[in-house]
Structure 1
Amino acid sequence: MGITSELRPDGIRVVTMEHPPVNALTVQGWFDVAAALDEAGRDHDTHVVVLRAEGRGFNAGVDIKEMQQTSGFDALIGANKGCFAAFRAVYECAVPVIAAVHGFCLGGGIGLVGNADCIVASDDAYFGVPEVDRGALGAATHLARMVPPHLMRTLYFTGRTITAADLVPHGSVLEVVPGDRLDETALAIAAEIAAKDTRVIRAAKEALNGIDPVDVNKSYRFEQGFTFELNLAGVADELRDDFVRKQ
Protein backbone atom coordinates (compact mmCIF):
# COMPACT_ATOMS: atom_id res chain seq x y z
CA MET A 1 0.00 0.00 0.00
CA GLY A 2 1.00 3.64 -0.28
CA ILE A 3 2.67 5.01 -3.40
CA THR A 4 4.59 2.58 -5.57
CA SER A 5 6.65 3.20 -8.69
CA GLU A 6 7.67 0.57 -11.22
CA LEU A 7 9.78 1.13 -14.33
CA ARG A 8 8.94 -1.30 -17.13
CA PRO A 9 11.52 -2.45 -19.72
CA ASP A 10 9.77 -0.38 -22.40
CA GLY A 11 10.44 2.91 -20.57
CA ILE A 12 6.95 3.26 -19.11
CA ARG A 13 6.95 4.04 -15.40
CA VAL A 14 3.76 3.09 -13.58
CA VAL A 15 3.04 5.07 -10.40
CA THR A 16 0.22 3.58 -8.32
CA MET A 17 -1.68 5.14 -5.42
CA GLU A 18 -3.21 2.77 -2.90
CA HIS A 19 -4.52 4.20 0.36
CA PRO A 20 -7.68 2.40 1.53
CA PRO A 21 -10.53 2.84 1.91
CA VAL A 22 -11.03 5.64 -0.64
CA ASN A 23 -7.55 6.88 -1.61
CA ALA A 24 -7.91 10.05 0.45
CA LEU A 25 -4.22 10.80 0.83
CA THR A 26 -2.53 11.76 4.06
CA VAL A 27 -0.04 14.62 4.18
CA GLN A 28 2.79 12.14 3.68
CA GLY A 29 0.91 10.50 0.83
CA TRP A 30 0.84 13.73 -1.17
CA PHE A 31 4.55 14.23 -0.67
CA ASP A 32 5.13 10.61 -1.70
CA VAL A 33 3.28 11.21 -4.97
CA ALA A 34 5.46 14.26 -5.57
CA ALA A 35 8.62 12.29 -4.84
CA ALA A 36 7.62 9.50 -7.24
CA LEU A 37 6.96 11.93 -10.10
CA ASP A 38 10.12 13.92 -9.42
CA GLU A 39 12.12 10.71 -9.45
CA ALA A 40 10.51 9.68 -12.73
CA GLY A 41 11.47 12.94 -14.38
CA ARG A 42 15.09 12.68 -13.26
CA ASP A 43 15.44 9.10 -14.52
CA HIS A 44 16.31 9.23 -18.22
CA ASP A 45 15.28 5.59 -18.61
CA THR A 46 11.73 6.79 -17.92
CA HIS A 47 10.07 7.92 -21.15
CA VAL A 48 6.50 8.38 -19.90
CA VAL A 49 4.50 7.94 -16.66
CA VAL A 50 1.15 6.27 -16.11
CA LEU A 51 -0.46 7.53 -12.88
CA ARG A 52 -3.10 5.11 -11.65
CA ALA A 53 -4.72 3.83 -8.45
CA GLU A 54 -5.91 0.67 -6.80
CA GLY A 55 -9.13 0.43 -4.83
CA ARG A 56 -12.62 1.85 -5.11
CA GLY A 57 -11.63 5.05 -6.90
CA PHE A 58 -8.73 7.04 -8.25
CA ASN A 59 -8.52 9.69 -5.54
CA ALA A 60 -10.83 11.24 -2.94
CA GLY A 61 -8.60 14.20 -2.14
CA VAL A 62 -7.20 15.10 1.26
CA ASP A 63 -7.62 12.84 4.29
CA ILE A 64 -9.96 15.10 6.25
CA LYS A 65 -10.02 12.74 9.23
CA GLU A 66 -6.26 13.14 9.62
CA MET A 67 -6.67 16.90 9.50
CA GLN A 68 -9.40 16.96 12.15
CA GLN A 69 -7.50 14.61 14.45
CA THR A 70 -4.43 16.87 14.46
CA SER A 71 -4.27 19.83 16.80
CA GLY A 72 -3.24 23.23 15.51
CA PHE A 73 -2.63 23.95 11.84
CA ASP A 74 0.16 21.45 11.12
CA ALA A 75 -2.03 19.03 9.15
CA LEU A 76 -3.71 21.84 7.23
CA ILE A 77 -0.41 23.42 6.27
CA GLY A 78 1.03 20.01 5.50
CA ALA A 79 -1.90 19.09 3.24
CA ASN A 80 -1.68 22.39 1.39
CA LYS A 81 2.06 22.04 0.87
CA GLY A 82 1.72 18.37 -0.03
CA CYS A 83 -1.00 18.99 -2.61
CA PHE A 84 0.98 21.84 -4.10
CA ALA A 85 4.05 19.60 -4.36
CA ALA A 86 2.12 16.72 -5.93
CA PHE A 87 0.26 18.85 -8.48
CA ARG A 88 3.48 20.67 -9.38
CA ALA A 89 5.34 17.37 -9.76
CA VAL A 90 2.76 16.06 -12.24
CA TYR A 91 2.83 19.27 -14.26
CA GLU A 92 6.60 19.71 -14.18
CA CYS A 93 7.50 16.05 -14.64
CA ALA A 94 10.08 16.04 -17.43
CA VAL A 95 8.12 13.38 -19.32
CA PRO A 96 4.40 13.17 -20.19
CA VAL A 97 2.05 11.90 -17.48
CA ILE A 98 -1.00 9.84 -18.41
CA ALA A 99 -3.71 9.66 -15.74
CA ALA A 100 -5.72 6.42 -15.74
CA VAL A 101 -8.87 7.20 -13.76
CA HIS A 102 -11.48 4.82 -12.38
CA GLY A 103 -14.35 5.43 -10.01
CA PHE A 104 -14.26 8.76 -8.25
CA CYS A 105 -11.75 11.55 -8.84
CA LEU A 106 -12.50 14.31 -6.36
CA GLY A 107 -10.84 17.36 -4.83
CA GLY A 108 -7.11 16.79 -4.87
CA GLY A 109 -7.61 14.12 -7.51
CA ILE A 110 -8.66 16.90 -9.89
CA GLY A 111 -5.38 18.64 -9.16
CA LEU A 112 -3.50 15.53 -10.28
CA VAL A 113 -5.43 14.78 -13.46
CA GLY A 114 -5.94 18.42 -14.41
CA ASN A 115 -2.17 18.83 -14.49
CA ALA A 116 -1.62 15.56 -16.37
CA ASP A 117 -0.86 15.51 -20.09
CA CYS A 118 -3.46 12.90 -21.02
CA ILE A 119 -6.49 11.42 -19.25
CA VAL A 120 -8.10 8.06 -19.96
CA ALA A 121 -10.94 6.80 -17.83
CA SER A 122 -13.12 3.81 -17.10
CA ASP A 123 -16.83 4.01 -17.82
CA ASP A 124 -17.62 4.36 -14.10
CA ALA A 125 -15.32 7.38 -13.61
CA TYR A 126 -16.62 10.74 -12.46
CA PHE A 127 -14.94 13.98 -11.47
CA GLY A 128 -15.73 16.81 -9.07
CA VAL A 129 -14.50 19.43 -6.64
CA PRO A 130 -16.52 19.30 -3.38
CA GLU A 131 -14.22 21.83 -1.67
CA VAL A 132 -16.95 24.41 -0.95
CA ASP A 133 -18.79 21.80 1.13
CA ARG A 134 -15.62 21.25 3.19
CA GLY A 135 -14.89 24.91 3.87
CA ALA A 136 -11.91 24.98 1.52
CA LEU A 137 -11.01 26.24 -1.92
CA GLY A 138 -8.63 24.82 -4.49
CA ALA A 139 -8.25 22.85 -7.73
CA ALA A 140 -10.35 25.34 -9.71
CA THR A 141 -7.07 25.99 -11.53
CA HIS A 142 -7.02 22.37 -12.62
CA LEU A 143 -10.74 21.92 -13.24
CA ALA A 144 -10.49 24.93 -15.57
CA ARG A 145 -8.12 22.89 -17.73
CA MET A 146 -10.80 20.23 -18.14
CA VAL A 147 -14.02 22.16 -18.87
CA PRO A 148 -15.05 25.59 -20.24
CA PRO A 149 -15.24 28.53 -17.79
CA HIS A 150 -18.98 28.64 -17.13
CA LEU A 151 -19.23 24.89 -16.62
CA MET A 152 -16.23 25.03 -14.30
CA ARG A 153 -17.92 27.69 -12.18
CA THR A 154 -21.18 25.75 -12.05
CA LEU A 155 -19.43 22.54 -11.00
CA TYR A 156 -17.36 24.44 -8.44
CA PHE A 157 -20.20 26.39 -6.82
CA THR A 158 -22.62 23.45 -6.71
CA GLY A 159 -20.17 20.65 -5.92
CA ARG A 160 -21.72 18.61 -8.71
CA THR A 161 -19.76 15.89 -10.45
CA ILE A 162 -19.33 15.19 -14.15
CA THR A 163 -18.84 11.81 -15.79
CA ALA A 164 -15.84 10.81 -17.86
CA ALA A 165 -18.12 10.32 -20.86
CA ASP A 166 -19.36 13.90 -20.55
CA LEU A 167 -15.78 15.17 -20.51
CA VAL A 168 -14.86 13.50 -23.80
CA PRO A 169 -16.58 16.19 -25.96
CA HIS A 170 -14.57 18.85 -24.09
CA GLY A 171 -11.35 17.10 -25.10
CA SER A 172 -10.04 16.66 -21.57
CA VAL A 173 -10.70 12.90 -21.36
CA LEU A 174 -9.24 11.17 -24.39
CA GLU A 175 -11.05 7.86 -24.14
CA VAL A 176 -13.58 6.03 -21.93
CA VAL A 177 -13.28 2.24 -21.73
CA PRO A 178 -14.62 -0.61 -19.58
CA GLY A 179 -12.84 -0.88 -16.26
CA ASP A 180 -11.05 -4.08 -17.18
CA ARG A 181 -9.47 -2.33 -20.17
CA LEU A 182 -8.33 0.84 -18.41
CA ASP A 183 -4.76 -0.20 -17.68
CA GLU A 184 -4.17 -1.67 -21.12
CA THR A 185 -5.55 1.47 -22.76
CA ALA A 186 -3.33 3.76 -20.71
CA LEU A 187 -0.31 1.54 -21.37
CA ALA A 188 -1.04 1.47 -25.12
CA ILE A 189 -1.00 5.28 -25.29
CA ALA A 190 2.09 5.34 -23.10
CA ALA A 191 3.80 2.87 -25.44
CA GLU A 192 3.25 5.22 -28.39
CA ILE A 193 5.04 7.97 -26.51
CA ALA A 194 7.73 5.72 -25.04
CA ALA A 195 8.70 4.52 -28.51
CA LYS A 196 9.69 8.04 -29.57
CA ASP A 197 13.06 9.68 -28.91
CA THR A 198 12.86 10.66 -25.26
CA ARG A 199 15.12 13.67 -25.85
CA VAL A 200 12.53 15.12 -28.20
CA ILE A 201 9.60 14.25 -25.94
CA ARG A 202 11.28 15.85 -22.93
CA ALA A 203 11.94 18.99 -24.95
CA ALA A 204 8.33 18.96 -26.14
CA LYS A 205 6.99 18.68 -22.59
CA GLU A 206 9.04 21.68 -21.49
CA ALA A 207 8.01 23.65 -24.57
CA LEU A 208 4.30 22.95 -24.11
CA ASN A 209 4.45 23.96 -20.45
CA GLY A 210 6.21 27.15 -21.51
CA ILE A 211 3.36 28.25 -23.78
CA ASP A 212 0.53 27.51 -21.34
CA PRO A 213 -1.58 30.66 -20.87
CA VAL A 214 -1.91 30.15 -17.09
CA ASP A 215 0.86 29.56 -14.57
CA VAL A 216 -0.81 26.67 -12.76
CA ASN A 217 1.54 26.83 -9.78
CA LYS A 218 0.89 30.49 -9.01
CA SER A 219 -2.80 30.14 -9.77
CA TYR A 220 -3.27 27.24 -7.36
CA ARG A 221 -1.19 28.96 -4.67
CA PHE A 222 -3.50 31.98 -4.97
CA GLU A 223 -6.50 29.72 -4.37
CA GLN A 224 -4.86 28.25 -1.28
CA GLY A 225 -4.69 31.68 0.31
CA PHE A 226 -8.48 31.77 0.56
CA THR A 227 -8.47 28.34 2.19
CA PHE A 228 -6.24 29.73 4.92
CA GLU A 229 -8.60 32.67 5.39
CA LEU A 230 -11.56 30.31 5.81
CA ASN A 231 -9.62 28.31 8.36
CA LEU A 232 -8.62 31.37 10.35
CA ALA A 233 -12.28 32.44 10.35
CA GLY A 234 -13.28 29.05 11.80
CA VAL A 235 -15.59 28.24 8.89
CA ALA A 236 -13.51 25.37 7.53
CA ASP A 237 -13.26 23.57 10.88
CA GLU A 238 -17.05 23.66 11.31
CA LEU A 239 -17.67 22.13 7.89
CA ARG A 240 -14.90 19.53 8.18
CA ASP A 241 -16.22 18.46 11.59
CA ASP A 242 -19.68 18.03 10.07
CA PHE A 243 -18.16 15.92 7.29
CA VAL A 244 -16.32 13.63 9.74
CA ARG A 245 -19.44 13.20 11.92
CA LYS A 246 -21.42 12.04 8.89
CA GLN A 247 -18.86 9.37 7.92
Structure 2
Amino acid sequence: MGVSTERDSAGIAVITVDYPPVNALPARGWFDLAEALRLAGRDERTRVVVLAAEGRGFNAGVDLKELAADPGHAALLAVNRGCHEAFRAVYECEVPVVSAVQGFCLGGGIGLVGNSDVVIAATDAVFGLPEVARGALGAATHLSRLVPQHTARAMLYTGATVGAEELRRFGSVWRVVPRDELLGAATEFAAEIAARDPLIIRRAKESLNGIDPVDVNRSYRYEQGFTFELSLDGVADRTRRAFVDGESS
Protein backbone atom coordinates (compact mmCIF):
# COMPACT_ATOMS: atom_id res chain seq x y z
CA MET A 1 0.00 0.00 0.00
CA GLY A 2 1.24 3.50 -0.79
CA VAL A 3 3.17 4.99 -3.68
CA SER A 4 5.76 2.96 -5.58
CA THR A 5 8.03 3.60 -8.58
CA GLU A 6 9.40 1.16 -11.13
CA ARG A 7 11.72 2.19 -13.96
CA ASP A 8 12.56 0.18 -17.06
CA SER A 9 15.64 0.28 -19.27
CA ALA A 10 13.93 2.61 -21.75
CA GLY A 11 13.62 5.36 -19.15
CA ILE A 12 9.90 4.90 -18.43
CA ALA A 13 9.13 5.41 -14.74
CA VAL A 14 5.79 3.92 -13.69
CA ILE A 15 4.50 5.51 -10.49
CA THR A 16 1.67 3.49 -8.97
CA VAL A 17 -0.74 4.63 -6.28
CA ASP A 18 -2.32 1.93 -4.11
CA TYR A 19 -4.54 3.04 -1.22
CA PRO A 20 -7.33 0.47 -0.78
CA PRO A 21 -10.24 0.35 -0.97
CA VAL A 22 -10.84 3.30 -3.33
CA ASN A 23 -7.56 5.22 -3.59
CA ALA A 24 -8.80 8.09 -1.44
CA LEU A 25 -5.46 9.49 -0.29
CA PRO A 26 -4.61 10.78 3.18
CA ALA A 27 -2.48 13.90 3.46
CA ARG A 28 0.70 11.83 3.70
CA GLY A 29 -0.19 10.00 0.52
CA TRP A 30 -0.42 13.23 -1.48
CA PHE A 31 2.98 14.36 -0.23
CA ASP A 32 4.48 10.94 -1.00
CA LEU A 33 3.09 11.08 -4.52
CA ALA A 34 4.54 14.56 -5.01
CA GLU A 35 7.94 13.36 -3.86
CA ALA A 36 7.87 10.33 -6.16
CA LEU A 37 7.06 12.55 -9.14
CA ARG A 38 9.82 15.02 -8.29
CA LEU A 39 12.41 12.30 -7.84
CA ALA A 40 11.44 10.69 -11.14
CA GLY A 41 11.57 13.95 -13.06
CA ARG A 42 14.92 15.01 -11.64
CA ASP A 43 16.51 11.67 -12.46
CA GLU A 44 18.30 12.09 -15.81
CA ARG A 45 17.57 8.44 -16.61
CA THR A 46 13.82 9.18 -16.70
CA ARG A 47 12.40 10.07 -20.10
CA VAL A 48 8.69 9.83 -19.31
CA VAL A 49 6.46 9.06 -16.31
CA VAL A 50 3.37 6.86 -16.38
CA LEU A 51 1.03 7.62 -13.48
CA ALA A 52 -1.12 4.60 -12.68
CA ALA A 53 -3.16 3.12 -9.85
CA GLU A 54 -4.10 -0.25 -8.46
CA GLY A 55 -7.66 -1.26 -7.68
CA ARG A 56 -11.14 -0.41 -8.86
CA GLY A 57 -10.46 3.23 -9.62
CA PHE A 58 -7.67 5.63 -10.42
CA ASN A 59 -8.34 8.09 -7.61
CA ALA A 60 -11.26 9.00 -5.35
CA GLY A 61 -9.77 12.25 -4.04
CA VAL A 62 -8.92 12.92 -0.42
CA ASP A 63 -9.59 10.67 2.55
CA LEU A 64 -12.69 12.35 4.02
CA LYS A 65 -12.58 10.10 7.08
CA GLU A 66 -9.21 11.60 7.96
CA LEU A 67 -10.76 15.08 7.81
CA ALA A 68 -13.89 14.09 9.72
CA ALA A 69 -11.80 12.61 12.55
CA ASP A 70 -9.95 15.89 13.12
CA PRO A 71 -11.75 18.30 15.50
CA GLY A 72 -9.64 21.20 14.26
CA HIS A 73 -8.21 22.26 10.91
CA ALA A 74 -4.79 20.60 10.94
CA ALA A 75 -5.87 17.72 8.69
CA LEU A 76 -7.55 20.07 6.22
CA LEU A 77 -4.50 22.29 6.03
CA ALA A 78 -2.26 19.26 5.53
CA VAL A 79 -4.38 17.72 2.77
CA ASN A 80 -4.77 21.09 1.05
CA ARG A 81 -1.01 21.47 0.91
CA GLY A 82 -0.56 17.83 -0.04
CA CYS A 83 -2.94 18.08 -2.99
CA HIS A 84 -1.34 21.32 -4.12
CA GLU A 85 2.11 19.72 -4.00
CA ALA A 86 0.99 16.59 -5.88
CA PHE A 87 -0.81 18.48 -8.64
CA ARG A 88 2.12 20.87 -8.93
CA ALA A 89 4.57 17.97 -9.12
CA VAL A 90 2.67 16.49 -12.07
CA TYR A 91 2.60 19.82 -13.89
CA GLU A 92 6.23 20.72 -13.15
CA CYS A 93 7.68 17.25 -13.67
CA GLU A 94 10.63 17.76 -16.00
CA VAL A 95 9.39 15.01 -18.33
CA PRO A 96 5.94 14.28 -19.75
CA VAL A 97 3.45 12.55 -17.44
CA VAL A 98 1.06 10.05 -19.00
CA SER A 99 -1.91 9.20 -16.76
CA ALA A 100 -3.43 5.73 -17.13
CA VAL A 101 -6.98 6.03 -15.77
CA GLN A 102 -9.37 3.21 -14.91
CA GLY A 103 -12.68 3.26 -13.08
CA PHE A 104 -13.43 6.41 -11.15
CA CYS A 105 -11.32 9.56 -11.36
CA LEU A 106 -12.90 11.96 -8.88
CA GLY A 107 -11.92 15.07 -6.94
CA GLY A 108 -8.18 15.02 -6.50
CA GLY A 109 -7.93 12.56 -9.37
CA ILE A 110 -9.08 15.35 -11.66
CA GLY A 111 -6.23 17.49 -10.34
CA LEU A 112 -3.71 14.82 -11.27
CA VAL A 113 -5.17 14.04 -14.69
CA GLY A 114 -5.87 17.66 -15.59
CA ASN A 115 -2.22 18.54 -15.00
CA SER A 116 -0.93 15.51 -16.90
CA ASP A 117 0.50 15.82 -20.39
CA VAL A 118 -1.40 12.90 -21.89
CA VAL A 119 -4.37 10.85 -20.65
CA ILE A 120 -5.07 7.29 -21.71
CA ALA A 121 -8.24 5.83 -20.23
CA ALA A 122 -9.99 2.52 -19.88
CA THR A 123 -13.47 2.15 -21.32
CA ASP A 124 -14.91 2.10 -17.78
CA ALA A 125 -13.27 5.37 -16.68
CA VAL A 126 -15.52 8.15 -15.38
CA PHE A 127 -14.41 11.65 -14.43
CA GLY A 128 -16.05 14.08 -12.03
CA LEU A 129 -15.83 16.62 -9.23
CA PRO A 130 -18.19 15.70 -6.36
CA GLU A 131 -16.66 18.49 -4.24
CA VAL A 132 -19.88 20.46 -3.65
CA ALA A 133 -21.50 17.38 -2.11
CA ARG A 134 -18.42 16.84 0.07
CA GLY A 135 -18.20 20.33 1.56
CA ALA A 136 -15.24 21.48 -0.53
CA LEU A 137 -14.21 23.31 -3.65
CA GLY A 138 -11.18 22.85 -5.84
CA ALA A 139 -9.77 21.27 -9.02
CA ALA A 140 -12.13 23.23 -11.26
CA THR A 141 -8.83 24.62 -12.53
CA HIS A 142 -7.94 21.14 -13.75
CA LEU A 143 -11.42 20.10 -14.85
CA SER A 144 -11.42 23.14 -17.15
CA ARG A 145 -8.40 21.64 -18.91
CA LEU A 146 -10.43 18.50 -19.66
CA VAL A 147 -13.87 19.77 -20.65
CA PRO A 148 -15.38 22.96 -22.12
CA GLN A 149 -16.15 25.78 -19.69
CA HIS A 150 -19.92 25.35 -19.46
CA THR A 151 -19.60 21.59 -19.12
CA ALA A 152 -17.17 22.15 -16.26
CA ARG A 153 -19.62 24.47 -14.52
CA ALA A 154 -22.50 22.02 -14.87
CA MET A 155 -20.31 19.19 -13.56
CA LEU A 156 -19.11 21.21 -10.56
CA TYR A 157 -22.58 22.39 -9.54
CA THR A 158 -24.23 18.97 -9.88
CA GLY A 159 -21.45 16.44 -9.35
CA ALA A 160 -22.22 14.89 -12.75
CA THR A 161 -19.58 12.67 -14.32
CA VAL A 162 -18.47 12.14 -17.91
CA GLY A 163 -17.03 9.02 -19.48
CA ALA A 164 -13.75 8.38 -21.22
CA GLU A 165 -15.26 8.42 -24.70
CA GLU A 166 -16.79 11.85 -24.11
CA LEU A 167 -13.42 13.20 -22.99
CA ARG A 168 -11.86 11.67 -26.07
CA ARG A 169 -14.33 13.61 -28.18
CA PHE A 170 -13.36 16.77 -26.28
CA GLY A 171 -9.75 16.00 -27.18
CA SER A 172 -8.49 15.64 -23.61
CA VAL A 173 -8.14 11.84 -23.66
CA TRP A 174 -5.70 10.53 -26.25
CA ARG A 175 -6.90 6.95 -26.40
CA VAL A 176 -9.59 4.73 -24.85
CA VAL A 177 -8.81 1.03 -24.45
CA PRO A 178 -10.22 -2.03 -22.69
CA ARG A 179 -9.30 -2.06 -19.04
CA ASP A 180 -7.02 -5.07 -19.27
CA GLU A 181 -5.00 -3.25 -21.95
CA LEU A 182 -4.68 0.06 -20.08
CA LEU A 183 -1.19 -0.14 -18.60
CA GLY A 184 0.16 -1.72 -21.77
CA ALA A 185 -1.33 1.06 -23.90
CA ALA A 186 0.03 3.75 -21.58
CA THR A 187 3.55 2.32 -21.53
CA GLU A 188 3.44 1.75 -25.29
CA PHE A 189 2.64 5.42 -25.82
CA ALA A 190 5.25 6.40 -23.24
CA ALA A 191 7.80 4.39 -25.22
CA GLU A 192 7.13 6.61 -28.24
CA ILE A 193 8.10 9.63 -26.15
CA ALA A 194 11.06 7.84 -24.59
CA ALA A 195 12.43 7.11 -28.07
CA ARG A 196 12.86 10.84 -28.74
CA ASP A 197 15.91 12.85 -27.74
CA PRO A 198 15.51 13.28 -23.95
CA LEU A 199 16.86 16.83 -23.81
CA ILE A 200 14.48 17.98 -26.54
CA ILE A 201 11.53 16.37 -24.75
CA ARG A 202 12.45 18.05 -21.46
CA ARG A 203 12.69 21.42 -23.17
CA ALA A 204 9.41 20.76 -24.99
CA LYS A 205 7.68 20.17 -21.65
CA GLU A 206 9.21 23.34 -20.22
CA SER A 207 8.21 25.38 -23.27
CA LEU A 208 4.61 24.14 -23.21
CA ASN A 209 4.27 25.07 -19.54
CA GLY A 210 5.76 28.46 -20.34
CA ILE A 211 3.04 29.31 -22.86
CA ASP A 212 0.16 27.97 -20.77
CA PRO A 213 -2.53 30.68 -20.54
CA VAL A 214 -3.44 29.77 -16.93
CA ASP A 215 -1.10 29.56 -13.95
CA VAL A 216 -2.56 26.28 -12.68
CA ASN A 217 -0.63 26.36 -9.39
CA ARG A 218 -1.90 29.79 -8.37
CA SER A 219 -5.39 29.18 -9.76
CA TYR A 220 -5.84 26.00 -7.70
CA ARG A 221 -4.45 27.67 -4.57
CA TYR A 222 -7.10 30.38 -5.01
CA GLU A 223 -9.82 27.72 -5.16
CA GLN A 224 -8.53 26.11 -1.97
CA GLY A 225 -9.14 29.33 -0.06
CA PHE A 226 -12.87 28.84 -0.52
CA THR A 227 -12.69 25.32 0.91
CA PHE A 228 -11.07 26.71 4.04
CA GLU A 229 -13.67 29.50 4.20
CA LEU A 230 -16.45 26.91 4.09
CA SER A 231 -14.71 24.96 6.85
CA LEU A 232 -14.50 28.03 9.07
CA ASP A 233 -18.19 28.64 8.43
CA GLY A 234 -18.96 25.09 9.59
CA VAL A 235 -20.92 24.01 6.54
CA ALA A 236 -18.03 21.98 5.13
CA ASP A 237 -17.65 19.93 8.31
CA ARG A 238 -21.39 19.23 8.44
CA THR A 239 -21.46 18.17 4.80
CA ARG A 240 -18.40 15.93 5.15
CA ARG A 241 -19.72 14.27 8.30
CA ALA A 242 -23.10 13.63 6.67
CA PHE A 243 -21.33 11.99 3.72
CA VAL A 244 -19.04 9.87 5.92
CA ASP A 245 -21.91 8.83 8.21
CA GLY A 246 -24.03 7.89 5.21
CA GLU A 247 -21.17 5.89 3.70
CA SER A 248 -20.67 4.02 6.98
CA SER A 249 -24.34 3.21 7.56
Question: Which category describes the TM-score, using the shorter chain as reference length?
Answer: over 0.9
Match of 2:12 in 1: 12
- Give, in whole Å, the separation in 2 of the partners of 1:8 and 1:75: 36
TM-superposition CA deviations, 1:159-203 (whole Å, max 9, x none): 000001111111001111000100110011100000111100000
TM-score scaled by length of structure 1: 0.99
Q: Aligned ranges for residues 69-84 of structure 1 at < 5 Å?
A: 69-84=69-84
Q: Given residue 107 of structure 1, which amino acid in structure 2 is its aligned partner?
A: G
Match of 2:27 in 1: 27
Match of 1:136 in 2: 136
Match of 1:219 in 2: 219
- Give, in whole Å, the separation in 1 of the partners of 2:30 and 2:223: 18
Match of 1:206 in 2: 206
The CA RMSD measured in Å over matched residues stands at 0.5
Q: Given residue 36 of structure 2, which amino acid in structure 1 is its aligned partner?
A: A
Shift of 1:7: 1.1
Q: Given residue 12 of structure 2, which amino acid in structure 1 is its aligned partner?
A: I
Match of 2:164 in 1: 164
Structure 1 gap segments, 5+ residues each: none
- Give, in whole Å, the separation in 2 of the partners of 1:37 and 1:24: 18
Q: Aligned ranges for residues 77-96 of structure 1 at < 5 Å?
A: 77-96=77-96
Match of 2:66 in 1: 66
Match of 2:197 in 1: 197
- Give, in whole Å, the separation in 1 of the partners of 2:88 and 2:159: 24
- Give, in whole Å, the separation in 2 of the partners of 1:13 and 1:209: 21
**SS at the partner of 2:124?**
coil
TM-score scaled by length of structure 2: 0.99
Q: How many residues align?
A: 247
**SS at the partner of 2:226?**
helix
Structure 2 gap segments, 5+ residues each: none
Q: Given residue 100 of structure 1, which amino acid in structure 2 is its aligned partner?
A: A
Shift of 1:71: 2.6
Q: Percent identity?
A: 62
- Give, in whole Å, the separation in 2 of the partners of 1:112 and 1:143: 10
Match of 1:51 in 2: 51
Match of 2:242 in 1: 242
TM-superposition CA deviations, 1:211-245 (whole Å, max 9, x none): 00000000000000111110000010000000110
